[in-house]
Structure 1
Amino acid sequence: MAGVTDRPFRQLCRRLGAGYAVSEMVTSRKELWNSLKTSRRADHAGEPGPIAVQIAGTDAAMMAEAAAYNIDRGAQIIDINMGCPAKKVCNKWAGSALMRNEVLALDIVEAVVAVCAPRCVPVTLKMRTGWSADERNALRLARLFEAAGIAMLTIHGRTREQGYTGLAEYDTIAAVKAAVVIPVVANGDIDSPEKARDVLAYTQADALMIGRAAQGRPWIFREVAHFLSTGGHLPAPTVAEARDVLTEHLHDHYGLYGELSGVRSARKHIGWAVRGLPGGDAFRRHMNTLERCEEQLQALRDWFDDLGQTYHRLPATPAANDEDAPADPACAA
């Protein structure tokens, strides 16, 4: 998810139980590789493996070159974006728009695999169920992609036309899983341990991808893993733990973005963390007036300490929906 799954957030999710985390979408346009935004997205300093980088574009040769570029900078897995529904991406026929041009989609896969295979770097791919309800072609594409050398498929259970509205469906994911040998990952509306269990059982998928439900609630990964292995629920994090987790994340965040950009981009992470908590809306409005890292950190610590006077553990909050809805208009699906 562009604007969300940067290196600090990926590392946070890994520490809290995620087995795997994919980078923000990196453009295949060479002239943008030295831009500040792309250089941050290609920064994997201190990140535990496997390092998976998602690339996006519409030209097979450029996508192959982008794969090689990212491998040279530490990528151990290359993921092809054919799932992003954002208009600014689809209008250029990238992201999920590629599902409407099966010949081009296959050309891109073949070109990227040809570059990655000699380097022993697997290529994965994320897509949707299709462009629209009348153009669901994930099953046909899955077979083509498997034959072309894709090592793993992730399927979001919505069409591009749906965007992030309505409910994800899992019949298409189940059909793909039954049709291919390579691992299949189910994605879409997985926001609780019970939902994770049910989606795995229904689709027979090999793994689950959790997106938006982790925003402000990164411990969902350990909650799901514990429930799937034991059938029981972990207690909610203590208020003190939530404070410390977010504080540590913000330190990492500021380290990547610097003071000015870091304070502003951290606001969304803080907003997600306090969403639904008592007094969270008022605190978020106050947070948006602060302009310095230390002010932001101190306000956050003080707010959680005040919350801890009433609650030992975080009170329940509404679950997030629309799994991988982007914070940035150019999402990485």
Structure 2
Amino acid sequence: MRIGPYLVDPPLVLAPMAGVTDRPFRQLCRRLGAGLAVSEMTTSDARLWHTDKSRLRRDHAGEAGPIAVQIAGYDPRQMAEAARFNVAHGAQIIDINMGCPAKKVCRVDAGSALLRDEGLVARICAAVVAAVDVPVTLKIRTGYTRAQRNGVAIARIAEDCGIQALAVHGRTREDHFRGSAEYDTIAAIKQAVRIPVIANGDIDSPQKARDVRAATGADALMVGRAAQGRPWLFREIAHFLATGQHLAPPAPEEIRRWLLEHLDALYAFYGEDRGVRVARKHIQWYCQDHPGSAEFWQRVNRLTDAAAQRRAVAEFLVETFVAQAA
């Protein structure tokens, strides 16, 4: 799949997820098979651009291109300025957030709340496209409510405004993340526009990836929550789609190495104190399916020292893998 001059190969995209897709996680997913990794959403409110949170969210040092940055807001002028600001700080693709269902985002008429106002969608898309010389993409849901699935209309508006690729989560804002994703609307969107369409929602295995691609005709697939604690899912999907064969599961030592490398990257990126706190959710995701994980989680969650946290994780994984091999 191409987005402007950029080839996304394999056509697998890590979804932007607030508090998750920071630089260490993006880099790990790219190493393990994602063709593109989109940043956490960044605010269009210039008053917040120089906070520590915003500074870290636009840190792309050492990251493989193309650098895709998602911006969120409701004002066309602010969104255009945010696009220019992020391009000046290294963004090579700007993604507009019209998919987030979170209350705090929708309460200020941003994220998926924008789907209620097709005129505003057009003004934002046009303003951002005109503001920068890099490709602009858009992330949406199938509609704001189940009764108003206007994804096809939004997609046509986006294409007319110069949006160069469209990611569609197969739920409405009303659904949040409940129930199962529906792919009929994504398939209808693919038929309605000429720009690349990226299917998103409940893609959690190589077989599901194949089925979603077949059901929607999408040019690429976007994986979000299923990659938490399982970033190697990208290489498994890529191998299956290319060959029809299942890739062998990663060896225990590989999983242990990836997790410890991830922890080290978090400590370096955030500093040890904050890195320990951020690492906790990743540790839980990595370890949740292993025997004894609940007891281990209670213990490791109380640790505040980076070295102690890393040592505890390493020892738990060794013990777990030895027990599984016995």
Same fold by TM (over 0.5)? yes
Partner of residue 7 from structure 1, selected from 20, 23, 35: 23
Does 1:276 pair with 2:265? Answer: no
Equivalent residue, structure 1, for 2:35 = 19
Aligned 1:281-300 pairs, distance under 5 A:
281-300=294-313
Aligned 1:219-258 pairs, distance under 5 A:
219-258=232-271
The whole-number CA distance in structure 1 between the counterparts of 2:75 and 2:321 is 53
Equivalent residue, structure 1, for 2:278 = 265
The whole-number CA distance in structure 2 between the counterparts of 1:221 and 1:143 is 30
The whole-number CA distance in structure 1 between the counterparts of 2:308 and 2:122 is 50
- The residue type paired with residue 75 of structure 1 is A
Equivalent residue, structure 2, for 1:131 = 144
Partner of residue 104 from structure 1, selected from 90, 99, 120: 120
Equivalent residue, structure 2, for 1:146 = 159
- The residue type paired with residue 233 of structure 1 is H
Describe the SS at the equivalent of 1:109. helix
CA contact (8 A) 1:239 1:307 kept: no
The whole-number CA distance in structure 2 between the counterparts of 1:235 and 1:40 is 35
Aligned 1:121-200 pairs, distance under 5 A:
121-200=134-213
Describe the SS at the equivalent of 2:208. helix
Instruction: Show structure 2 runs of 5+ residues with no match.
Output: 1-16
CA contact (8 A) 1:67 1:115 kept: yes
Instruction: Show structure 1 runs of 5+ residues with no match.
Output: 314-333
Task: Quote the offset at 1:234 in angstroms.
Answer: 1.3
Equivalent residue, structure 1, for 2:61 = 45
The whole-number CA distance in structure 2 between the counterparts of 1:309 and 1:104 is 57
Does 1:32 pair with 2:32? Answer: no
Task: Quote the offset at 1:108 in angstroms.
Answer: 0.5
Partner of residue 225 from structure 2, selected from 212, 231, 254: 212
CA contact (8 A) 2:44 2:81 kept: yes
- The residue type paired with residue 231 of structure 1 is G
CA contact (8 A) 1:129 1:138 kept: yes
Describe the SS at the equivalent of 1:286. helix
Describe the SS at the equivalent of 1:43. coil
CA contact (8 A) 1:239 1:312 kept: no
CA contact (8 A) 1:52 1:79 kept: yes
CA contact (8 A) 2:198 2:219 kept: yes
The whole-number CA distance in structure 2 between the counterparts of 1:144 and 1:101 is 12
Task: Quote the offset at 1:312 in angstroms.
Answer: 5.1
The whole-number CA distance in structure 2 between the counterparts of 1:190 and 1:296 is 31
Describe the SS at the equivalent of 1:155. strand
Equivalent residue, structure 1, for 2:12 = none
- The residue type paired with residue 240 of structure 2 is F
The whole-number CA distance in structure 2 between the counterparts of 1:259 and 1:141 is 44
The whole-number CA distance in structure 1 between the counterparts of 2:299 and 2:249 is 26
Partner of residue 81 from structure 2, selected from 59, 65, 70: 65
Task: Quote the offset at 1:308 in angstroms.
Answer: 2.2
- Deviation per CA, 1:134-184: give whole Å up to 9, x if none: 111110010111011000000000000000101100000000000100000
The whole-number CA distance in structure 1 between the counterparts of 2:323 and 2:235 is 25
- Deviation per CA, 1:85-105: give whole Å up to 9, x if none: 000000000000000011111
Task: Quote the offset at 1:311 in angstroms.
Answer: 3.0
Task: Quote the offset at 1:69 in angstroms.
Answer: 0.3
Describe the SS at the equivalent of 1:311. helix
The whole-number CA distance in structure 2 between the counterparts of 1:100 and 1:79 is 19
Does 1:82 pair with 2:95? Answer: no
The whole-number CA distance in structure 2 between the counterparts of 1:220 and 1:113 is 33
Structure 1 window deviating more from structure 2 (298-307 vs 124-133): it is 298-307
The whole-number CA distance in structure 1 between the counterparts of 2:244 and 2:293 is 31
Equivalent residue, structure 2, for 1:93 = 109
Deviating 4+ runs (over 4 angstroms)? none
CA contact (8 A) 2:164 2:196 kept: yes
Task: Quote the offset at 1:58 in angstroms.
Answer: 0.6
